[in-house]
Amino acid sequence: SQKIEQNSEALNIQEGKTATLTCNYTNYSPAYLQWYRQDPGRGPVFLLLIRENEKEKRKERLKVTFDTTLKQSLFHITASQPADSATYLCALGPTGGNTGKLIFGQGTTLQVKP
């Protein structure tokens, strides 16, 4: 069955540095991959989507890469700020089509220290 893994340990970085989070998956070929942010006591909030035929996507200080050969996505936050502290979730979309369930990783907690 499909398996998706994110760094289980929390990531602690200094303000202004670049945070890099990893998402690896096996036994699956998603049509796209999404990243969400989740704050304590709240539902996830969509950040970025990258499709299987795209290598890289950017949005403001965020950058996502997608390597379908390695079955890996990297999520970067440049010039990180304490307000970026949250849990970040990677989610795989369905194999075909645009709509359908998401398969989430367990999330990586990011702590940005001033």
Partner 1 sequence: GAGVSQTPSNKVTEKGKYVELRCDPISGHTALYWYRQSLGQGPEFLIYFQGTGAADDSGLPNDRFFAVRPEGSVSTLKIQRTERGDSAVYLCASSPVTGSNEQFFGPGTRLTVL
Write out the residues near partner 1 by the rule CB under 8 A: 32, 34, 36, 41-46, 49, 89, 91, 93, 98-107
Taking a C-beta distance cutoff of 8 angstroms, is the pair 93, 48 a contact?
A: no
C-beta closer to partner 1: residue 41 or 114: 41
Measured distance CA(10)–CA(97) in Å, rounded:
34
Q: Closest distance between partner 1 and the C-beta of residue 86, in Å?
A: 14
What is the length of the chain? 114
* Residue with smaller CB distance to partner 1, 16 or 100: 100
**Closer CB to partner 1, 86 or 105, in the complex:** 105
C-alpha angle 42/45/49, rounded to 5°?
A: 155
